Amino acid sequence: MPAPPDFQTLYDAELAYVVRTLQRLGVAARDLEDAAQDVFVAVYRRRADRDPARPVRPWLFGFCFRVVGNYLQKAHRSREVGVDDVEALAGVAAPAGELERREERALVLAALSTLDLDHRAVAILFDLEGLAAPEVAEALGIPLNTVYSRARTARQKLLASLRGAGGAR
């Protein structure tokens, strides 16, 4: 068996991806640091199991998905992710050009929060991350037809939510 990947290198390269994924899956800004730590503790324990021939991000997404499932079950969340949480994550005032991008991001996060976790995960991997359906199926451990079904349903719900919020232009 090959040596496990260097954990520090993996952590440094993928921390931003993990935090972004946790936020997209519904973790409040105030809990992102703890959730990211939970993800990387699990990754550290399972780093020797990773197949280096396969992409790392779908593998990491699986850890994020499980951590968020536990997070939601523990009822940590007392409010939905909103604009304030997105701005708190950034930590600084946005330049004029960034304001519109942040508002759009907040709309997408709010729309994602209307989906259950299973549909949200498929939407993120398939539509936002651009993974192929077979990769999504493998990352989430679900049948391929389920990926297509959840993606279709998620898109319909996201579009309806965005239209309702004035996000469709």
CA atoms within 13 A on the CB side of 35: 32
Q: How many CB atoms lie within 10 A of CB 143?
A: 10
Q: How many CB atoms lie within 10 A of CB 72?
A: 15
Architecture of domain 1-79: Orthogonal Bundle (1.10)
Domains of the chain: which residue ranges?
A: 1-79
Angstrom distances, CA of residue 1 to CA of 5, 126, 134: 12, 32, 26
Q: How many CB atoms lie within 10 A of CB 101?
A: 11
- Could you read off the pLDDT tens digit of each residue along the chain, which spans 169 residues? 555 568 999 999 999 999 999 999 989 889 999 999 999 999 999 998 888 888 999 999 999 999 998 888 775 444 444 444 444 444 455 565 676 777 888 888 888 989 999 999 999 999 889 999 999 999 999 999 999 999 999 999 999 988 886 644 4
